[in-house]
Amino acid sequence: MNLACIGHPLESRPRDPWIFLLSSLGFIVLLKHTLFFLQWFHSTFLRPPKDLAQYGPWALVTGCTDGIGRAFAFNLARRGLNLVLVSRNHEKLETVSNEIETTFPSIETRIVAVDFSKDASSCVRSIEEAIQGLDIGVLINNVGITYPGACFFHEVEERVWREIVRVNVEGTARVTRAVVPGMVRRRRGAVVSVGSGAAIVVPSHPLFAIYAATKAFIDQLSRSLHVEYKLHGVDFQCQVPLYVATRMASKVASIESKSMFVPSPDEYARVAIDHIGYEPRCMPHWAHSLQWCFAHCVPDRVLDAWRLSIGLKRREKYYAMSSSSYQVGFFN
């Protein structure tokens, strides 16, 4: 018998623990990703929406005369909630209010015309007077502005970036602070703030830095307040959209119509409302979630270079179309 041909059983034993360890790690990683996918599929397609009336009979929506905010208002009315509509254009507010009350005769609306870019504190006083005695159960912080084209930080006039901060940061914080005390007293309420993939999905958003920074504030504020007020019965949530076929997307990113990966405002708002009351941060639309997943697989340096190239092209296009200096762009 040739003993050299007989493998000694002890020779393979030192390798066995490593094989077992690597197999276990691979199984854990696979299990983690499988559970993540199942959770995403359930929350996106299977999970039943909450009855928003349990939070209260009234909802307040800022930036509600156009785009996502307008779609939120109509879909909240469809869910049976009365509406306090807040925006800066009184005529547009009356139009939206009349359309909602005509479409949903049982729904009552109130309008508050305020311009957060001027004096946020006086705006909030007007809102507080309008909601006095109302049981506000849902707040949608949607108002937001940006500059109408890509530009470097030093090119943004001080007046412009101050208005962006005043509307996106101070306006959101002040309206939230005005509504939350009543929710805490009643121990029920939901506060939804509309964030942006510019602050969360990509590691940077060059040539729109001020806008991205204000949306990062909204994200962190919402997630922190979610922890603060969960035990008081108030659900805070930051919803993160990517591109939606709105006037803002048309002016800034030249998106003229909806597509498979760019939903219409109504399509987005319908699924966004279904997510109210659940996670502190969510990306409601399935197409946006897929894009976030793809972006997560790409190195930050590649995403930075990609976003910078897009920003430079948009800046060149903007300057080619207009020789005037940048002015702030309102989308509410």
Q: Which residue stretches of the chain have pLDDT < 70?
A: 1-15, 323-332
Q: Which residues contact 307 (CB under 8 A, 6 or more apart)?
A: 202, 204, 205, 206
Q: What CA–CA distances, in Å, run from 153 to 116, 121, 149, 161, 215?
A: 22, 27, 12, 9, 16
pLDDT at 247: 87
What is the helix (H) or strand (E) element at residue 179, kind and residue range? Answer: helix 172-186
Q: What CA–CA distances, in Å, run from 165 to 60, 65, 156, 242?
A: 21, 21, 13, 21
For 69-117, what is each residue's pLDDT tens digit? Answer: 999 999 999 999 999 999 999 999 999 999 999 999 999 999 999 999 9
**Length of the chain in terms of residues written:** 332
**For residue 97, how far is the Cα from the chain centroid?**
24
Q: What angle do CA 259, 97, 61 make, to 5 degrees?
A: 65
**pTM reported for the whole predicted model:** 0.89
What angle, rounded to 10 degrees, do the helices at 209-229 and 172-186 form?
A: 10
* Phi, psi (rounded to 5 degrees) for 205: -135, 70
pLDDT at 330: 46
Distance CA 112, CA 293 (A): 39
Give the 3-state secondary structure of residue 108: coil
The answer to whether 62 and 86 have CB atoms below 8 angstroms apart is yes
Architecture of domain 51-330: 3-Layer(aba) Sandwich (3.40)
pLDDT at 331: 43
Q: Which residues are catalytic?
A: 211
Distance CA 104, CA 79 (A): 10
